[in-house]
Chains A and B, each alone.
Chain A
Amino acid sequence: MTAHPLQRMVPVHSTTPVTALAYHDADILLSGQGPYLKAIRVSTADTLACIHLGGDWKVHRIVLANVQRIGATSEARLFLAFGAKSLRIMRLTVLRSGSGEGPKLYFQHLWNVPHMKDWILDAQWLWPKADLQGEFPTTRSSLNPAPTKPPTSIAIGYAHNFVEVFDLPQDPFSIPHQQNDLSQDDDLHDFRLSFSVQSEEHCTLFCGRFHNNTLEDLWFASGTVFCHALLWKVHHGTGVEAPVAMSLIGHEGILFGIRWSDNGKAVCTVSDDRTIRVWDITNPGKILHTTHFGHTARVWDCQIIGTYLVSISEDASCRVWRNPLLTDLSDKDDMSDCLACWEGHEGKSAWSVAVSDNAVVATGGGDGGIHLWRLDSIVSGSTDAEQNTKDIDLPDTPTYYPNITPQEKEFIRDFVITSNTQSVYGTNTGYILIRDDESETWSTLYNSPLLKNYVTMESSRCGRIVVAGCLTGKLVVLSVRNEFVPLIADTLDGIKIQFIFLLDGAGEDDFTIAVFRANCTVGVFRLCISTASSTATCTYLCDLKLPNSNKAIHAAFYSPRYNLLLLGSRSGTVLVYNLNHLSTVDRGTDTERAVLDSIVQLERCHGLDSVSSILMVTELGEGFEGKDRIIVYTTGRDGSWTKYRFLGLPDGEVIGAGTTTEEEDDDEENDKDDFEDDSDVIGASAGGDTQGRMRSPSPNDQENGTEIVLQKIYSSKITKGWLEQVFLMDGELLLLGFFNKKLFVYNESKHFELRSFARELTAGSELFQNAKLQNNFHGREVRHLRFLGEAQPLTEGAPAPIITASGGEDCRLRLFQYIPYKTQNSCTALRPLCNLKPRFGAAIRCLEWSYTDTAHSYLLFTGGAIESMRAWQVTLSIANSYQVQVVQDHLGRAIPEHTPLSLGCLELAQCPHASETLETRIMDLSVFRLAGHPGKHFVASVYSDGASRVWLFDETSKNFVLAINSNYHNKCILQVAHVKFSEGGILMFTAATDGNITVWDLTHALDAFLARYTADAGARPVHAQRPFIGKSKKMASKYYVQNLTKPIAEISAVHMSGVNSMCVRDLGSEGILVVSGGDDNALAVSLVKTVWSPESRTIHALSADMIARDNNAHGSAIQAVSIISPSEVVTTSQDQMISLWRVGISAETSAAALVKQESQFVHVPDPSTMDILPASEDETRHSVAIAGIGVQIFQVGP
């Protein structure tokens, strides 16, 4: 939508729930999110066209008509987009050059049908019966056989269970193709209402759906709040009201979605009762139905696609089920034929789903993201063990062991799988047999008395080598392909070998072998293959020193790049050995044996359960400041997996500022570590049990001055069963485990269980490159968003990056880079940088930035539920590809584009508790620093139990210390703000649910606190000596605290009830401007005049008065106010409006005039927070971000 020439507030970006999806063809997906309609190319994830539909409604559904061919290669598609009581008739034109370039797309708005009588539930294109032959599928993008003529009417189904039919004013195919904006002056006279009918059942519906495309055959399916679905024929012939032909009774809750099968012989309904029901209506006298349980919350939609049902739910998942209509419904009871459960969206609800003709499922989330899934990855048939496994019996023993004696028993002792079609078996009689699994033929690889009665085997990853361990401590190394002659190696002690780990080395012929002996020792060997000489050599390297507590080793990984060996023990310990230190190992008296100590020992990685697998991955140049990022993954039998970062390795990331980071980079496919809701740890604090301690550092390491540390950065429990294996496949993290005697494979990167992993893993990605077609925002209500206001440019001449921090009900802290005018449309300007969910996460209500003396290093404070307050260190650095480009903004001006940057976010500290009640919420924060006190940040915080406190966060000690306490308010305090005077004077403003604004002079209390604190350099413990009785929480020490009892001024009854928002600005001699927005719809302006006396270091209030108020500033509670200049204020409210106000203060009378300049609709439901950022040097332009369920950014110009 083009801006009105006089409009100063222009919407430039929004991310809101994706509520409508439809495929034009397999490569072009239409999406509706908020007021925007987008066309996205599936294969490349590019947004090809985007249009703002205007108005105050969001797109609830897109209904496609037939394709109109234009020339040989291009086409156009008519479609309806509707929501609430508005409907637009649109056309998408797709121009294909045929030269290999991508298609060019544009939207065209044909007609506006702006105000319908009632809420629209469905709309349908209608043709004259003569123009339609055969069936006309309603749910899919392909219309086969497609009508060649244009539709002539549209039918609209309403929430009060009635239908209207309008005739199109003109043949839509005859309208010239051109790109346009929305025409506001539509002539509606030709939109003739040609038919109208009410169902005999008068009720309010939550859902409805048409079937068929001619008025004569049109049916409507109504989903009622009384748990019934009603099917009725629209053009029924007689009477005023249409009779209900069929009632589908069975659901136990409101119907939220209803769909017809393509042939109209079945209906699929979903409900509040969390079930999907499929109704066979072929015989109206005997309607059969199936019930499908599985979703863990309300189900919003389900469609029948061939052999599948595809459903979406409030549980944010998309599930695929077996279509029950293909079997006999009469013998079906409650079913859970769930074939796949795709959980990619964050927070609550997947709202929309579309399936392309080549079986790519697109889901749109409440989080504003769009994900792609492949339906053809589901192998039909279950993955039950019994169906897919096969017993293997040894061939008759005499066929390979002719001289077997009757005393010898033959059976399989151990086996390994060497390829998809080959396996190798060790038998009790000392034979090693190869089985070709395709031809089911056997051959003898080796036999030896050494292997009689006991063998343990391991194969190399490549499958070329099999190593067998003997009772006598010998290793037998065998080539499956006969590349070398068998080798028998000694493992030193002559003790039974219990486990062998055959690990890949640097080259394809190098391997590292770790053997775990029966006496609980580990020997390490190097195995080299020479195909030229057909020999293998096995060299002893060393033994490894194990902690006493370790009974067995269950996992091992060797990194040739760093020459490190990683072991995981049965009792949960991860050990790292540096094989570079072999030369320095003290061999003591034993000349043969060398015992190497670990450099890292990390205990209880999976509690006391076994570490079942270890994987180490190096991402070259992907780490902080362009260093290599070295990641270690472990899985455990506690059902969880853990991600560590290796710090201090050569060229790798080092320990130091901002090193604990989690990035979510949309440009990288392999880094999609969304944090699970049930995650345990992120961004670990420095020290503690999350880091592997370094033991006996070697001289080499000391020379480098680096410490080697394994730092836990993420852990998540996936199952109540065991996790056994972690592997990366195409950059996606896959976890294999067992639960309830079943094997499962979970795709952690995309959050879904692979029901049929063989197909899933090999499914090519030729249809799309990125399964995340569109990045998401928060999945729940955002409660606070703050721009990093004083960010510094990362290179000279470049603009400072624009960073936002946001938090809300999803307990996540997210950081985004806002890139204005990144593309020609306004939908893709927020780039996710980081997505953190702290341990013991609590809803975030408030957050504030602070600044440090270190370049590009910032502090962020978050506060919220269960009295949680945290300090985070955010460090920005230049990404490898950083360069400044110049692009054009929407007004055609050349502006520098902000290119991607790298961001680190580290949790520094958690604030101790100070309230008696655990449920106390921190409602708001205000952060300031004082001149002469570097590294000290003062955090004014207000609490739901009526307390206001000022905390010191000390950068050096990384501790929160309680500085000032006040219990003056006996109400839940909602807002806090501050004003800083020169010479250290500080005024604090607080406001509560009683509508009063209170003014505090903090100067004295802060002076007294600082004197005491600096005197003993903060040596006192930050926590109280005695823990709070009956609670394990850490209480703050009150040693340094100053009590504040009396405010210097109070402005009473500024609002009738809660002061939801307050913004203050020092106007110098005029006083301090306090603008507040209330729950009572009112906007108030107050002026506080003070005088600072330097001698006594006190602030006296001369006056504090409300000078202007608009009682009806908004139609609902005001949620946020911002002062953009001394004379202008922006407000937003639950009524979803943003308003710009002029504040004119008369110098003589100190009275003010408050005049609304302009208002606009905000497409963010439940707007809770707003922040502004100057967008030009002279501060005449501002970016205004409003967040709630989604986010919208406006530019406010002069």
Chain B
Amino acid sequence: MGKSSKDKRDVYYRMAKEQGWRARSAFKLMQVDEEFNLLEGVTKAVDLCAAPGSWSQVLSKKLVKNQKETEEAKIVAVDLQAMAPLPGVIQLQGDITKQSTADQIISFFDGEKADIVVCDGAPDVTGLHDMDEYIQAQLLLAALNITTHVLRPGGSFVAKIFRGKDMTLLYTQLKIFFPKVTCSKPRSSRNSSIEAFIVCQDYTPPKDYVPNMGDPLLDLAPTDAQGRSNRTIAPFIACGDLSGFDSDMTYALPDSGSEDYKVLAPVQMPITAPYLSAIEKKRKGFFNDQMSKK
């Protein structure tokens, strides 16, 4: 699919390029923030699974406004992969399941803790839905685990979730640490996507809770069909301006011949794919001894 075709299909993709965001997901964090005012007064933030960096961009833009003379805004962005530098963002290449990563993040805050932790990470989906949801939950729990090390009491945590069959399990688990947990779907996230964001506010760890990266937070509740219907369902909020753009709608582009419309290149090219070697071989004709179906 060409870039302009994606422009038509997805208005937020086009707007992200126009406004200089590294990914359309920037709008999701902005719309969640509009609804929950999460970034009000915040000066210290952690962005987990940050690449390509659009959420760090949003944080950077908002936090700069909040900084006071005495207190500079500080954003730590963590990802397994390297990310292009962003002004005002401290970058850390590391694994969020590791104690050392937690320690490094804390060290950047000079003994203080973060006001907010965000995580827009998603695993490679395999197509086996139960497996994908499980892995996504593990990613979120790893983010939660590191959050318990770096978040100040009263702080907030925002993470991507898949609204699949086991979402209520995660909700139960998050409620242990946050009295206020809401499932939120920004309008910039497509209606057809099962992605949503869990917004956890007012961090209140259980008494005597000692953060421990050595022990993964395994999800607690049993999986059985009978118990399913009785589970607590996370309150849902759709956020973003209803009169704003609709991510599912097909918008006509300005006339492609006119000067007003140019097909823009993405702000940040995608991170390398694991199958590059395979693609490279294909280009060199490695597969040509096969019949070469069209």
Chain A residues within 8 Å of B, Cβ to Cβ: 17, 19, 54-58, 60, 83-86, 114-115, 117-119, 159-160, 202-204, 206, 225-227, 252-254, 256, 271-275, 293-296, 298, 300, 314, 334, 336, 338, 341, 348-349, 351, 366, 639, 678, 717-721, 737, 739-740, 742, 744, 746, 753, 915-921, 943-946, 970-972, 974, 992-995, 1030, 1056-1058, 1060, 1079-1082, 1111-1112, 1114-1117, 1134-1137, 1139, 1156, 1158-1161, 1165-1166, 1189
CA distance A971 to B11 in the complex (A): 12
Stretch at the interface among B84-92, B241-249, B260-268: B241-249
Known A-B contacts A1057-B238, A1116-B167; A1165 and B130 likewise in contact (beta carbons under 8 Å): yes
Among all A-B residue pairs, the 7 with the closest Cβ atoms:
A253-B274, A1165-B129, A1057-B238, A972-B248, A1161-B225, A1159-B229, A1056-B238
* Chain B 228-257: CB-based contact to A (< 8 A → 1; otherwise 0): 110101111110001000101111110011
* Contact between A314 and B127, CB atoms less than 8 A apart: yes
Q: How far is the CB of A712 from chain B (nearest CB, A)?
A: 19
A residues less than 8 Å from B253 (CB atoms) = 917
CA distance A1135 to B256 in the complex (A): 42
* Contact between B250 and A252, CB atoms less than 8 A apart: no
B269 near A: Cβ within 8 Å? Answer: no
B222 near A: Cβ within 8 Å? Answer: yes
B residues less than 8 Å from A17 (CB atoms) = 128
B residues less than 8 Å from A225 (CB atoms) = 123
* Contact between A56 and B229, CB atoms less than 8 A apart: no
Known A-B contacts A203-B97, A1057-B238; A1116 and B163 likewise in contact (beta carbons under 8 Å): yes
A residues less than 8 Å from B249 (CB atoms) = 944-946, 970-972, 993
CA distance A336 to B260 in the complex (A): 50
* Chain B 145-178: CB-based contact to A (< 8 A → 1; otherwise 0): 0000000000000000001110110000000000
Number of interface residues of B (CB under 8 A): 68
Q: How far is the CB of B36 from chain A (nearest CB, A)?
A: 15
Q: How far is the CB of B135 from chain A (nearest CB, A)?
A: 7
Complex A-B: 16 CB contacts under 8 Å: A56-B224, A57-B130, A83-B130, A298-B126, A336-B286, A351-B128, A718-B291, A919-B9, A921-B250, A972-B248, A993-B248, A1056-B238, A1080-B238, A1115-B167, A1159-B229, A1166-B129
B209 near A: Cβ within 8 Å? Answer: no
B15 near A: Cβ within 8 Å? Answer: no
Q: How far is the CB of B118 from chain A (nearest CB, A)?
A: 21
A residues less than 8 Å from B235 (CB atoms) = 1111-1112
Complex: chain B residue closest to A1160, CB-CB = B225
* Chain B 130-148: CB-based contact to A (< 8 A → 1; otherwise 0): 1100110010001000000
Known A-B contacts A204-B135, A721-B292, A993-B191; A1081 and B236 likewise in contact (beta carbons under 8 Å): yes
Known A-B contacts A273-B275, A338-B290, A753-B290; A115 and B223 likewise in contact (beta carbons under 8 Å): yes
Q: How far is the CB of B107 from chain A (nearest CB, A)?
A: 21
Known A-B contacts A57-B130, A1057-B185; A84 and B293 likewise in contact (beta carbons under 8 Å): no
Known A-B contacts A114-B224, A252-B274, A720-B294; A917 and B250 likewise in contact (beta carbons under 8 Å): yes
- From B129, B194, B251, give the contact of A1189 (CB < 8 A): B129
Complex: chain B residue closest to A161, CB-CB = B216
Q: How far is the CB of A436 from chain B (nearest CB, A)?
A: 34
Q: How far is the CB of A737 from chain B (nearest CB, A)?
A: 8
* Contact between A84 and B9, CB atoms less than 8 A apart: no
* Contact between B187 and A1134, CB atoms less than 8 A apart: no
A residues less than 8 Å from B278 (CB atoms) = 273-275, 293, 295-296
CA distance A17 to B97 in the complex (A): 32
* Contact between A1137 and B228, CB atoms less than 8 A apart: yes
CA distance A753 to B292 in the complex (A): 10
Known A-B contacts A203-B97, A204-B135, A719-B292; A1117 and B274 likewise in contact (beta carbons under 8 Å): no
* Contact between A917 and B164, CB atoms less than 8 A apart: no
A residues less than 8 Å from B97 (CB atoms) = 202-204
Known A-B contacts A56-B224, A253-B275; A917 and B251 likewise in contact (beta carbons under 8 Å): yes
CA distance A54 to B228 in the complex (A): 13
B19 near A: Cβ within 8 Å? Answer: no
Known A-B contacts A84-B223, A917-B8; A1134 and B194 likewise in contact (beta carbons under 8 Å): yes
CA distance A1035 to B245 in the complex (A): 27
- From A206, A945, A1160, give the contact of B135 (CB < 8 A): A206
CA distance A1117 to B193 in the complex (A): 10
* Contact between B134 and A1134, CB atoms less than 8 A apart: no
Known A-B contacts A945-B251, A1056-B237; A85 and B223 likewise in contact (beta carbons under 8 Å): yes
B108 near A: Cβ within 8 Å? Answer: no
- From A678, A718, A920, give the contact of B250 (CB < 8 A): A920
CA distance A159 to B130 in the complex (A): 13
Complex: chain A residue closest to B272, CB-CB = A252
Known A-B contacts A204-B97, A1137-B228; A56 and B223 likewise in contact (beta carbons under 8 Å): yes
Known A-B contacts A275-B278, A678-B294, A919-B8; A204 and B130 likewise in contact (beta carbons under 8 Å): no
CA distance A160 to B138 in the complex (A): 9
Complex: chain B residue closest to A1055, CB-CB = B238
B214 near A: Cβ within 8 Å? Answer: yes
Q: How far is the CB of B189 from chain A (nearest CB, A)?
A: 10
Complex: chain B residue closest to A119, CB-CB = B134
B218 near A: Cβ within 8 Å? Answer: yes
Q: How far is the CB of B58 from chain A (nearest CB, A)?
A: 22
Q: How far is the CB of A14 from chain B (nearest CB, A)?
A: 14
CA distance A175 to B224 in the complex (A): 27
Known A-B contacts A118-B218, A256-B126; A974 and B191 likewise in contact (beta carbons under 8 Å): yes
CA distance A1081 to B138 in the complex (A): 24
CA distance A86 to B276 in the complex (A): 37
A residues less than 8 Å from B229 (CB atoms) = 1137, 1139, 1156, 1158-1159
CA distance A719 to B292 in the complex (A): 6
B289 near A: Cβ within 8 Å? Answer: yes
Q: How far is the CB of B272 from chain A (nearest CB, A)?
A: 9
Q: How far is the CB of B5 from chain A (nearest CB, A)?
A: 6
* Contact between A349 and B127, CB atoms less than 8 A apart: yes
Complex: chain A residue closest to B133, CB-CB = A1165
CA distance A1057 to B248 in the complex (A): 11
Known A-B contacts A84-B223, A945-B250, A1115-B168; A1056 and B294 likewise in contact (beta carbons under 8 Å): no
B70 near A: Cβ within 8 Å? Answer: no
* Contact between A1079 and B191, CB atoms less than 8 A apart: yes
* Contact between B218 and A1115, CB atoms less than 8 A apart: no
A residues less than 8 Å from B5 (CB atoms) = 918-919
Complex: chain A residue closest to B242, CB-CB = A994
Complex: chain B residue closest to A740, CB-CB = B288
- From A86, A115, A944, A1116, give the contact of B164 (CB < 8 A): A1116
B283 near A: Cβ within 8 Å? Answer: no
B71 near A: Cβ within 8 Å? Answer: no
* Contact between A55 and B225, CB atoms less than 8 A apart: yes
CA distance A272 to B278 in the complex (A): 10
A residues less than 8 Å from B237 (CB atoms) = 1056
CA distance A943 to B277 in the complex (A): 41
* Contact between A719 and B291, CB atoms less than 8 A apart: yes
B281 near A: Cβ within 8 Å? Answer: yes
* Contact between B168 and A753, CB atoms less than 8 A apart: no
CA distance A202 to B164 in the complex (A): 26
CA distance A57 to B129 in the complex (A): 11
CA distance A1159 to B226 in the complex (A): 8
CA distance A275 to B281 in the complex (A): 11
CA distance A970 to B248 in the complex (A): 11
Known A-B contacts A334-B281, A336-B289; A1080 and B167 likewise in contact (beta carbons under 8 Å): no
Complex: chain A residue closest to B134, CB-CB = A119
Q: How far is the CB of B254 from chain A (nearest CB, A)?
A: 12
A residues less than 8 Å from B275 (CB atoms) = 252-253, 272-274, 298
Complex: chain B residue closest to A923, CB-CB = B248
- A160-B218, A256-B126 known; 19 new pairs, CB 8 Å cut-off, are A57-B130, A60-B131, A85-B223, A119-B131, A159-B138, A203-B97, A274-B274, A719-B292, A919-B5, A944-B249, A994-B242, A1057-B185, A1081-B233, A1111-B236, A1112-B235, A1115-B163, A1116-B194, A1135-B228, A1158-B229
B residues less than 8 Å from A294 (CB atoms) = 287, 290
